[in-house]
Amino acid sequence: MEWETVIGLEIHTQLATKSKIFSGASTAYGAEPNTQACAVDLGLPGVLPVLNEEAVHKAVIFGMAIEAEIAPYSVFARKNYFYPDLPKGYQISQMELPIVGNGHLDIEVDGIMKRIGITRAHLEEDAGKSLHEDFHGLTGIDLNRAGTPLLEIVSEPDMRSAKEAVAYMKKLHELVRYLDICDGNMQEGSFRCDANVSVRPKGQKKYGTRAEIKNINSFKFVEKAINHEIERQIELIENGGRVIQETRLYDSVKDETRSMRSKEEANDYRYFPDPDLLPVLISEDYKTVVKAQLPELPQAKKHRFKDQYALDEENAAILTYSCQMADYFERVLKESGCEAKLCVNWITGELSAALNKAGLEIMDSPVGSERLAGLLARIRDNTISGKIAKQVFEEMWQSTATADEIIAAKGLKQITDTGAIEAIIDKIIADNPGQVEQYRSGKDKVFAFFVGQVMKEMQGKANPAEVNKMLKVKLNQ
Amino acid sequence: MHTKTLIELAQGLRSGEFSSVELTQIFLNRIKQHQHLNAYITVTEEAALQNAKAADVRLANGKAELLTGIPIAQKDIFCTLDVKTTCGSKMLDNFTAPYNATIVEKFNQAGAVMLGKLNMDEFAMGSSNETSYYGVVKNPWNTHTVPGGSSGGSAAAVAARLAVCATGTDTGGSIRQPAALCGITGLKPTYGRVSRYGMIAYASSLDQGGPMTHSAEDAAILLQTMAGFDEKDSTSVDCPVPDYRAGLNNSLAGLKIGLPKEFFGNGLSSNMAATLETAINEYRKLGAEIKEISMPNLKLAIPAYYVIAPAECSANLSRFDGVRYGYRCENPVDLTDLYTRSRGEGFGKEVKRRILMGTYALSAGYYDAYYIKAQKIRRLISEDFKNALAKVDVIMGPVTPTTAFGIGEKIGNPIEMYLSDIYTIAINLAGVPAMSIPAGFVAGMPVGLQIIGNYFAEDSLLNIAYQYQQVTDWHQHTPKGFE
């Protein structure tokens, strides 16, 4: 039988606010355990939550970017369950009236565009962390993360393969970073995914029973976990079994999912509106202001780059992968006065390679857009060759000097004095009569040997175009 | 000196007739002398004398406010920095908050001297103070009877002159009912008028702190300090706080008083009804017009309340899990054991009953039938009040069906106990302000008159109560043995 996979994703994005969603404590990652948890985060008796306006702002920005309905009236609810790292015994979340309603995101897989529906996105607080190691059989609890604002983004079951799911997740990841509402750091858990997976015979309308795979924290694992789950379900059904609705955990070490709890064992969360918080009212005026402040979105930016700078799909995609990358490119382009092609080659080539090697993001690049533009400008005006430029770039990576400073200090300025080049060419021709003979008898390949010899003699500082031109004249004499 | 009003004491402190230290010592001595009432859970003698000393300096410097140097006491539901806050529960017997409740902070700023923390029903759940882990409080008018609850310690302490005044909290009548049973003045402000920050939550959408005093004037002074927007409490309302004493002398001529016929039906004893009739006659003499009104949904208040309040409390009390603070069972074998035994051993019977009721009402499959239905009734009741208060200026009625009942009389029958709040609960559901003032005695036990006003009309309630207290002296009676 032919099977069809149905996938929906729930993605928790940590909103990049300075303080927590209901308290003034800092959200910075990596502090000593329990040093960033105030009385409200600890759930002490008598404390009350106060909503962080910035979290609402960021949720509205997101809603606008996916062209969603923004609820004029949304309500926080208590989700009740006991767990040691959940201090109040309930999580403040949104249930019936989330802040962001129906929206969508377009993805592209194998050159085909597809629209993925987003059912809703709601605000909630994160829980703390239970630490099971290093406590000699006891459990440690770190409440630094408790109260960190999350936007849970729930998709429609619109994806039909693990590949589509990953494309959607990447697209969303790119978007939240573009919007500057989430740092996107997956290792630190700023962007986490739960996947709902089911299979059904191709052509069947009714959905199969789904399993939810919890907390998958990388694009690679999402793909593997989903594919594994699809296989498990198909095998189960084909062997006469039945998929049960349950929560499963993906084990990346063993590359398998295993059951956490079934629907029967599932908690009854007893949601009800939180009486400590007022409903959130969003006015049309507020939406208008937020809309006006929205940055250019990735899709639009990519199209513009393709048109405006005559870039191919691949380069346009790389340069618009993040807002910072796109801005960097546009700054280099403007400041250097170079052609787009040269800038693209340098950014996607030398710079990207160096960043990758150092494990840095574009915003942390030791060579800022201004210095790179300075370097490319010297290529443009023939002060140095591309080859020398790479040498200068390496120096720049290690220092704070400008390209001009390095070129001057190291004497790398290109020789454009035709007299000097001519003298060298004459010498090389005189020293290599055999190769001259070969060239003149029609072996064109030998030409490269002459170029190499001249450049070597001139320590790479000769203008290659000039060398080519003059060599041709001399050899053909 | 202990029978003087707040204003008289404030004047005495200013004129140098006595110092705050002397005054505080008198009350500390009285607390010791009348320990058998069990009104206090914690007495902060040392801190009180220290603060009294500081208040005397402030008085000498002429920088005193009205409350500077006045000995007051806090219901043990308000968190106090460095002083144990138990909420009347074994669960918090070992708990000291690292912060002050907003109103405690405000009293400290005003220079009031805190004598200690007052007994109460466990987590404010009860109408007789019998659910307290620290034992029942005795009614100073008859020590075989209850003081009411949940602010039973506050009412008994003020009635017995073990504090000049006190704070209370009211979720379904917990200020007004004990005030009535102990013959003092109690005010439950409009929901949102007084900050709930640092006040341990029972039912968040109903809880409201307020003053418990001898007179309407004293209540006005306390409310002046307690009221106001607090950025730490999103449900506190940002609207101006009037000068509550400024309007006390306004004339009541032409005042329209509504008497809901539902308040004067079968449940009310004839003696009580006669006493209230006399009180209402006083208002007639003061120039008020009396009208009978009807509020048909009042009868639904108790069932709606006993869904909403337990539902909220079932979540509010989840934080008491033995993990971070409070009572923890001995040698838990695993997490479930830690939870079940800590909560099972730390909470009393009534608290457990309400957590169970609330959990049930919120459960899948029951939510719509109970919680949603109760919220709809709540809206109907609010409408009743809005409609009534469009026709009359205030509503009057009884606070309780009877005077104080005997200790042990109702504790075995929760339904009967719940019915003792039949006249007070609807007010919390609507969120309007209401007062209880002493209006006479039946068989030597105090009777309270309830005055219910419109949202944020505390000033008018205080004016109406004050005018009555100018022509009657019920509020000046002191129980025997406490003169």
Q: How far apart are CA A468 and CA A462, in angstroms?
A: 10
Residues of B in contact with A88 (CB under 8 A): 315, 318-319
Residue B78 contacts A where some CB pair is shorter than 8 Å: yes
Per-residue pLDDT of chain A (477 residues; tens, 9 = 90+): 899 999 999 999 999 999 999 999 999 988 999 999 999 999 999 999 999 999 999 999 999 999 999 999 999 999 999 999 999 999 999 999 999 999 999 998 988 999 999 999 999 999 999 988 878 888 899 999 999 999 999 999 999 999 999 999 999 999 999 999 999 999 899 999 999 999 999 999 999 999 999 888 899 999 999 999 999 999 999 999 999 999 998 888 888 888 887 766 678 999 999 999 999 999 999 999 999 999 998 888 999 999 999 999 889 988 988 888 999 999 999 999 999 999 999 999 999 999 999 988 888 899 999 999 999 999 988 888 888 899 899 999 999 999 989 988 887 777 767 777 888 888 888 888 888 888 888 888 888 888 888 888 877 777 777 888 888 888 887
Please give the pLDDT value at position A473: 84
Please give the pLDDT value at position A198: 97
Q: Of B108, B90, B105, which Cα lies nearest the Cα of B48?
A: B108
Give the CATH class of A418-475: mainly alpha
Domain boundaries, chain A: 3-285, 296-410, 418-475
Residue A378 contacts B where some CB pair is shorter than 8 Å: no
The backbone torsions φ and ψ at residue B94, rounded to the nearest 5 degrees and listed phi first, read -110, 15
Q: Which residue of chain A has the CA closest to B86?
A: A45
Exposed/middle/buried for A35, CB within 10 Å: 0-12, 13-18, 19+? exposed
Residues of A in contact with B85 (CB under 8 A): 45-46
Three-class DSSP labels, chain A: CCEEEEEEEEEEEECCCCECCCCCCECCCCCCCCCCCCCCCCCCCCCCCCCCHHHHHHHHHHHHHCCCCECCEECCEEEECCCCCCCCCEEEECCCCCCECCEEEEEEECCEEEEEEEEEEEEEECCCEEECCCCCCCCEEECCCCCCEEEEEEECCCECCHHHHHHHHHHHHHHHHHCCCCCCCCCCCCEEEEEEEEEEECCCCCCCCCEEEEEECCHHHHHHHHHHHHHHHHHHHHCCCCCCCEEEEEECCCCEEEEEEECCCCCCCCCEECCCCCCEECCHHHHHHHHHHCCCCHHHHHHHHHHHHCCCHHHHHHHCCCHHHHHHHHHHHHHHCCCHHHHHHHHHHHHHHHHHHHCCCHHHCCCCHHHHHHHHHHHHCCCCCHHHHHHHHHHHHHCCCCHHHHHHHHCCCCECCHHHHHHHHHHHHHHCHHHHHHHHCCCCCHHHHHHHHHHHHCCCCECHHHHHHHHHHHHCC
Report CB contact under 8 Å: A80, B314. yes
Please give the pLDDT value at position A463: 77
* Least CB–CB distance from A268: residue in B203, B323, B364: B364
Residue A49 contacts B where some CB pair is shorter than 8 Å: yes
What digits encode the pLDDT tens for the residues B199-248? 999 999 999 999 999 999 999 999 999 999 999 999 999 999 999 999 99
* Least CB–CB distance from A88: residue in B200, B318, B364: B318
Residues of B in contact with A90 (CB under 8 A): 315, 318
Q: How far apart are CA A375 and CA A378, in angstroms?
A: 5
Q: Considering just the CA atoms, what is the radius of gyration of chain B in Å? A: 21
Please give the pLDDT value at position A264: 65
Residues of B in contact with A44 (CB under 8 A): 79, 97-99, 319, 325
Residue A89 contacts B where some CB pair is shorter than 8 Å: yes
Please give the pLDDT value at position B138: 98
**Nearest chain B CA: its distance from A148 CA (Å):** 18
Name the active-site residue from B89, B132, B174, B420: B174
Report CB contact under 8 Å: B363, A270. yes
Residue A411 contacts B where some CB pair is shorter than 8 Å: no
**CB under 8 Å to A311, separation ≥6 — which residues?**
A305, A319, A340, A344
Residue A248 contacts B where some CB pair is shorter than 8 Å: no
Q: How far apart are CA B289 and CA A314, in angstroms?
A: 85
Portion 373-392 of B in contact with A at CB < 8 A: none
| Burial readout B15-39 (b: 16 or more C-beta within 10 A, e: otherwise) | eeebbbbebbbebbebbeebeebbb
DSSP-assigned beta bridge partners for residue A54: none
**Nearest chain A CA: its distance from B462 CA (Å):** 28
Token pair 């010791």 in the structure block, residue: B32
Mean pLDDT per 10-residue interval, chain B, length 483 residues: 91 96 98 98 98 98 96 98 98 98 98 98 97 98 97 98 98 98 98 98 98 97 98 97 98 98 90 96 98 96 97 98 96 95 98 98 95 98 98 98 96 88 97 98 98 98 98 97 93
**CB under 8 Å to B76, separation ≥6 — which residues?**
B41, B42, B85, B86, B87, B88, B117, B118, B119, B120, B153
Q: Which residue of chain A has the CA closest to B311?
A: A272
DSSP-assigned beta bridge partners for residue A246: A211, A262
CA B145 to chain centre: 18
Active site residue B391: no
Q: How far apart are CA B355 and CA B361, in angstroms?
A: 10
**Nearest chain A CA: its distance from B367 CA (Å):** 8
What domains appear along chain B, each with residue ranges and CATH number? 1-477 (3.90.1300.10)
